[in-house]
Amino acid sequence: MKKIINAPTDVVTDALRGMAAAHPERLRVRFDPAFVARADAPVADKVAVVSGGGSGHEPLHVGFVGSGMLDAAVPGAVFTSPTPDAVRAAVGEVDGGAGTLLVVKNYTGDVLNFETAAELLEAENIGVRTVVVQDDVAVRDSTNTAGRRGVGGTVLLEKIVGAAAARGDDLASCHEIAERVSAGVRSMGMALTAPTVPHVGEPSFELADYEMEVGVGIHAEPGRERVELESADGIVWRLLEPVLDDLPFRRDDEVLLFTNSMGATPQTELYLAHGIAERFLAERGVRVTRRLVGPYITSLEMRGLSFTLLKLDDELRRLWDAPVSTPALTW
């Protein structure tokens, strides 16, 4: 294992110290329990948007804390869910009196721990609603979840519902918008290499030089098939076709296309794949009007990519375009 770390057990804490040092004007970082909050939180009379999950997917979620997106993010150990107490502490620090929306990726540990935190918060008379993201079309059940996994759609949902909260929507409205995004977003990814979890010390799986894993999860869970490496055209279509067919996305649908690096994919290859995806979607009559390209939900140093399609309407487009100011996403 080659990593720029000190002790494997201290990776998350050391990284959070670095975030605090790098973004003192944006972030407030707590360590016991660990969470990251907006420096200006709580924002009075605004719905707080809080998410979290295992570390190793950065910039998700901690990199998206800031104006127009998350009020707090709760990181667990690498690929490990945060505890209910940490979620409870984060919400307690950022709730501004209008309630809190919890954004949860569909993994068993995340769902159970956020549910427990929500029960504790409701007992303290803090209004809480929850949305569970489950956009991965690759498999129905996987190593860490029952049902579909929450992947790239989480990034888009956090941005859009964060904008809704920033414009003053109440908790019920924010929850409705979040559910609408969740219903209209689909994703699928692939890998050329595996990540190495620091405290494990070896790759999560082995691939031959001529193989790729299609439908891989962000915790290196198995996908739907392991096949011989294809050309970029073949890879893009192998991922996009099941995404298009699942909702389904139809001719003249307006979409946001998110082309994501799993962590170690060079930008050159990522843009190459994005261009192919745009061409394929145009051939199917699907109109790409918004785009995001880059490493926004990763799996440590996994080399691979994923595509996410979100069906847009006028309101979702406006919310996507609304200002955002976070360490990882700003416009």
User: What are the tens digits of pLDDT across the range 18-35?
Assistant: 999 999 999 999 999 999
pTM recorded for the entire structure: 0.97
Residue that has been written with the tokens 């360490």 in this structure: 327
As a whole number of angstroms, the distance between CA 192 and CA 67 comes to 35
199 assigned to active site:
no
Beta partners for residue 200, in sequence order:
none
As a whole number of angstroms, the distance between CA 148 and CA 141 comes to 6
Q: Which of 23, 175, 219, 274 is catalytic?
A: 219
Provide the pLDDT for residue 179. Answer: 98
Q: Give me the mean pLDDT over the 75-103 stretch.
A: 98
Q: Give me the mean pLDDT over the 63-91 stretch.
A: 98
As a whole number of angstroms, the distance between CA 192 and CA 88 comes to 38
For the stretch 220-260, pLDDT in tens is 998 999 999 999 999 999 999 999 999 999 999 999 999 99
Tokens of 229: 């490496």
Domains in the chain, please, with CATH? 12-170 (3.40.50.10440), 185-319 (3.30.1180.20)
| Terminal-to-terminal C-alpha distance of the chain | 37
For the stretch 102-149, pLDDT in tens is 999 999 999 999 999 999 999 999 999 999 999 999 987 766 667 899
Q: Which of 23, 57, 61, 175 is catalytic?
A: 57
Beta partners for residue 214, in sequence order:
190, 225
283 CA to centre of own chain:
28
Give which of 114, 106, 107 is closest to 72, Cα–Cα: 114
119 CA to centre of own chain:
24
**Residue 27 near residue 39, CB atoms below 8 Å:** yes
As a whole number of angstroms, the distance between CA 2 and CA 201 comes to 9
For the stretch 175-230, pLDDT in tens is 999 999 999 999 999 999 999 999 999 999 999 999 999 999 999 998 999 999 99
Task: Name the phi and psi angles at 111, rounded to 5.
Answer: -60, -45
Contacts of 231 by beta carbon, 8 Å cutoff, 6+ apart: none
